[in-house]
Chain A
């Protein structure tokens, strides 16, 4: 099993550009989530999904959209990138709901200029 995969590993955007961060898991987990990691602020939940077709907002959802058309994929879209969205983004999945043991992807380091 590949576990949780994320692409790209690194990305540089200009303010106002849009892009999609990809996340996929091959463990048949129903629960998936996106976090951003910022120094001193830990991991903050952006959006999560408890199954295909079901998504909900986390702690910091503004400026981000998600969809869950399949169990495997959970892409995160930045609609109009801003410098405040410079961060490391982690996708995670869990076999349980509510989540306890979460399996994390390797992360995407995003810089917005």
Chain B
């Protein structure tokens, strides 16, 4: 079965510093990878998906099939980036999204 691992439960960075959230997955095929975000008092929402290859709110993520990783990066963190971030995986022939354990990001002023 597929699995998604986010090794860091908490990342604390200062405003303006780079931030990288790690995501590793276990699946030998070609999955679709996503990052979801939950801001305080808001609903969980899609941040970005690897197939789009886009930058959202300054965040980018690259799918590395060799390392089975999909790390999320932002060069200059802002206080409004403080949130809970979840990496998720979907299989083309599957029926569900599998989520990682989540990483809480705290951006300090």
Q: Which residues of A contact B (CB under 8 A)?
A: 33, 35, 40-45, 48, 50, 56, 58-59, 90, 92, 97-102, 104-107
Contacts and interface: CB of A to CB of B under 8 A. Distances in A.
Interface in B50-102: 86, 90-102
B94 A101 contact: no
Contacts of A102: 36, 46, 97
B43 A104 contact: yes
Contacts of A42: 4, 6, 86, 99-102
A40 B5 CA distance: 11
Contacts of B36: 102
Nearest to A44: B99
Nearest to B34: A100
A59 B2 CA distance: 11
Contacts of B49: 100-101
A95 to B, nearest CB: 12
A56 B95 CA distance: 9
B108 interface: no
Interface size class of B (residues with CB under 8 A): 20 to 34
A58 B96 contact: yes
Nearest to B102: A42
A101 B97 CA distance: 10
18 contacts: A33-B96, A40-B9, A40-B102, A42-B4, A42-B100, A42-B101, A45-B97, A45-B98, A48-B95, A50-B95, A56-B95, A98-B91, A98-B92, A98-B96, A100-B97, A104-B43, A104-B45, A105-B43
Contacts of B34: 100
A50 B96 CA distance: 10
Given A101-B49, A104-B43, A106-B43, A41 B95 contact: no
A19 to B, nearest CB: 22
A55 B36 CA distance: 24
A100 B34 CA distance: 8
Nearest to B42: A106
Contacts of A35: 99
A99 to B, nearest CB: 6
